[in-house]
Structure 1
Amino acid sequence: MRGHDRINTCLPEELIVEIFRRLDSKPSRDACSLVCKRWLALERLSRTTLRIGATGSPDLFVKLLARRFLNVRNVHMDERLNISLPVQLGRRSGSGQSALSSLKLHCVNEKNGPEDGGFESYSLSDAGLTALGEGFPKLEKLSLIWCSNVSSMGLISLAEKCTFLKSLDLQGCYVGDQGVAAVGKCCKQLEDLNLRFCEGLTDMGLVELTLGCGKSLKSLGIAACAKITDISFEAVGSHCKSLEILSLDSEFIHNKGVLSVAQGCRSLKVLKLRCINATDEALKAVGSCCLSLELLALCSFQRFTDKGLRAIGSGCKKLKNLTLSDCYFLSDKSLEAISTGCKELTYLEVNGCHNIGTMGLESIGKSCPRLTELQLLYCQRIGNHALLEVGKGCKFLQALNLVDCTSIGDEAICSIARGCRNLKKLHIRRCYEIGNKGIVAIGENCKSLTELSLRFCDRVGDEALVAIGQCSSLQHLNVSGCHQVGDAGIIAIARGCPELTYLDVSVLQNLGDMAMAELGEGCPKLKDIVLSHCRQITDVGLAHLVKNCGMIETCHMVYCLGISSAGVATVVSSCPNIKKVLVEKWKVSPRTARRAGSVITYLCVDL
């Protein structure tokens, strides 16, 4: 019956709340909350997660949120995000509106300095942490990213009230030993702890934490904590027997600390190390003790050799993910040891390891058939034969990234194309031996390709993109700096790749308006486009592009001589979803600046 509210009269509150909980997006929840006052109240009860950026008077803002959302379990606060003042929520009467009004007034007063002097503008203080604890006593997950104005006093107050806390991220917070020790004492269910860039922390605090909640701790992250030494990790090894994930970046940790963790935390599955003072002895302990290890990342090691990787290959049979970055003393023997022992390997990244060459990667291709992602960055000594073996042996490869691999050419890419037909992502940058032949083979064989990036590949031209136009599932294309690409190649993409959402054609001097018109006709889902330094594209081509591509969100068009203020106005007026336009300031008319100033980013500002 028209006008009869069957939902509110028939459905109990519990059922409506459960429906709200099953909504998969915040916009859907927000829309439901606007239906009526009852739905607004129930939707607030169903919210379990809050995400907060930098905000004016954050302490008062936290108190306001605590009154409105009573069942929150997860709070993420990141003060690196832009200042976002609360919006006017209408003319509802009541304490909520008065609180919001007072919050706005406080923000205005803060422009001339806080009246009460209790905290720094736009920074969460200890009072805010106390309000978090009082307002959300059932909190299970808390992230305080770069909240530099909080201290141990606030953390102690929070820990005493939020005893159910399971995950705590204090990245960039200058908290001290007393606060971290209080977390260990009060939060006995803590499983995940991130202390990266907590510069005020020393061994005393971390040792006290492990004594308090070491039994429950499963994940720990430490970076740039100059006062954390081997003493802390001896305590971690002694008390954190359930630890599964460790991320450690420190110049002050030696073999002793890593040995203690390896010997004491035998359930370790993920280990990320950047410890320049560790040697082969530490890796040997990992290989012999951490038999459940699945992910290993070794960065900037200059004091261990192939002996350490041999131990990993011999002991860590479950290893699936390996990253070797700037490890200068590793050679082909390291990858041979990994390929022999780690048959489950699915991800391999070799970055700047200058002594690893063709033979090492050949062994991976022959012995690791489950490899799905391969990253080779700045590997000058790896040649075509390495990827020939990968193409033959790694049939499940889905992602390949090559950066500055100057010895790899078309022959290798053809082998990948013929052997790895499930390839979905191919990223190539500054590999000057790769040209049309290799990319044509990709287009003819890899029909599931969704991402292709060919940055500054001088030998790639229209012929290659005509073949890629056969990959109808392509969503991401970057041909920046491929000077031989012109209208014909981009037109082929426009006609064959209707799913395209991202396109970078910057620095293409032969690209003109005809390609833009075809993109407008064939790629209606396009969201992000980079046209910078394309001298032949004019306002006419831009108008054809945005006529049908109404979903465009970002457009970069600096140093495009043929685009004027009229073209910029066309973009901002024709694209209702536009979020960012990068352009020279002199091309923005006063009217366009008034209409869309919030989405325009200028290449340079007035001096």
Structure 2
Amino acid sequence: MNKLGDDELGLILSLVADPDDRKSASEVCKGWWIMEGLSRSSLLVDDPDHLPRLLARYPNLTTFETHNQMSNADLALVAQSCPKLSTIVLGRNGDALLGITALITSAAHNLTHLDMDGCWFVTDQAFEAIGSSSCALRFLSLRGSSVTDDGLRFLTNGSCSKTIKQLKLESCCHITDVGVSLLCMMRVLEELDLAFCAQLTDVGGQAISTIQTLKVLNLACLIDLTEQTFVALAKNCINLEVLILQECEVTATSIHAFLGHKCLRSLNLISCLSDDFKGSILESLALGCPSLESIVVQESWREKLLQEMQKSTVSRFLHFSHF
């Protein structure tokens, strides 16, 4: 062990992900303690009071995560101390706007993954910082944030509109059809979550259907969407693999539109079925959609659907949820 050089030891430690194993290694001797700090790439901070000490010990971080409230000064210190960050997770840090903006701007060159779930009080200024930066984001989550149509405009006008593949906007209640329609400008978007964005109607839904790169789409609880949107999705989103329509107003026409779809693997219809919905409709979809692997419905419909569908079809395609 004593013959291990710093380079060799650093390489070994960079492959050790388990926190307990890393802690044990750091306790071997002072040299190992130093190299464990230098080779650490990710850090989860629970207590901001420890932040200065932790950042001094781990100067090569690429991932920074916190779920507790941090001040502008705390986040500015992270921005100053961690120039290599590619992944930032900032749950519930909406008040520290200046710090968030500084952190995004500082990490722009490397930033690919930005998770701001629950940052409710973040204004469109933060999204303007994202849009105006040179970052090549691939993943962006703003669930439960206060982003508005203007914020989405900043994003879609920026360079990240050419790189974002996953965009999560669940429960962003200030977004309307105007903002959602701007998402067509995103060139490589594959996964989009708009669940609980209550202001969306078929105007926004049909705009989304023009994003032909989509593979995963969550429209749960958008009660103002109609079969106009679902038929458009079936026709235009030819690469769509997963579609979540939980608690939407789904008609037989909406289901039939997906007959012959070449890529659809999973369809979530929990709490979508009405009394006039027949098992034969789901069976025709299961048999007429060659790529389909599962249809998810609520448990309360088990007996009705089992009686109306062939057992072989049920066992192969139908999945029941206790929701």
Structure 1: distance between partners of 2:300 and 2:78: 49
Partner of 1:421: 212
Structure 1: distance between partners of 2:197 and 2:222: 6
CA deviations over 1:491-510 (Å, ceiling 9, x no partner): 4522431222221122xxxx
| Aligned partner of residue 468 in structure 1, secondary structure | coil
Q: 1:491 to 1:275 in 2, by over 3 A?
A: same
TM-score, length of structure 2 as denominator length: 0.83
Contact 2:167/2:193, CA 8 A, preserved across alignment: yes
**Deviation of residue 293 (structure 1)?**
1.3
Contact 2:26/2:34, CA 8 A, preserved across alignment: no
Structure 1: distance between partners of 2:100 and 2:15: 34
Greater RCO, CA 8 A, separation 6+: 2
| Aligned partner of residue 377 in structure 1, secondary structure | coil
TM-score, length of structure 1 as denominator length: 0.46
Which has more radius of gyration?
A: 1
Partner of 2:73: 281
Structure 1: distance between partners of 2:13 and 2:100: 40
Task: Map residues 204-603 of structure 1 onto 2, 5 A cutoff.
Answer: 211=30, 213-217=32-36, 240-248=37-45, 250=46, 253-254=47-48, 256-262=49-55, 265-276=58-69, 278-301=70-93, 304-317=95-108, 318-353=110-145, 355-367=146-158, 368=160, 369-391=162-184, 393-418=185-210, 420-458=211-249, 460-483=250-273, 486-487=277-278, 489-506=281-298, 531-534=299-302, 536-539=304-307, 541=308, 544-546=310-312, 556=320
Contact 2:296/2:319, CA 8 A, preserved across alignment: no
Q: Which runs of 5+ in 2 are unaligned?
A: 1-11
Q: 1:421 to 1:273 in 2, by over 3 A?
A: same
**Deviation of residue 374 (structure 1)?**
0.9
| Aligned partner of residue 90 in structure 2, secondary structure | strand
Identical-pair percentage = 20
Structure 2: distance between partners of 1:449 and 1:332: 30
CA deviations over 1:412-462 (Å, ceiling 9, x no partner): 2222221x211111112112222212222211111111111100013x322
Structure 1: distance between partners of 2:271 and 2:183: 28
Structure 1: distance between partners of 2:23 and 2:297: 53
Structure 2: distance between partners of 1:215 and 1:260: 13
Task: Map residues 64-103 of structure 1 onto 2, 5 A cutoff.
Answer: none
**Deviation of residue 308 (structure 1)?**
1.6
**Deviation of residue 170 (structure 1)?**
6.5
1:339 maps to a residue whose letter is: G
Structure 1: distance between partners of 2:14 and 2:147: 45
Q: 1:260 to 1:427 in 2, by over 3 A?
A: same
1:366 maps to a residue whose letter is: N
Q: 1:502 to 1:495 in 2, by over 3 A?
A: closer
Contact 2:111/2:136, CA 8 A, preserved across alignment: yes
Partner of 1:167: 16
**Deviation of residue 259 (structure 1)?**
3.8
Structure 2: distance between partners of 1:321 and 1:168: 19
Structure 1: distance between partners of 2:74 and 2:245: 40
CA deviations over 1:265-289 (Å, ceiling 9, x no partner): 443211111122x201121122233
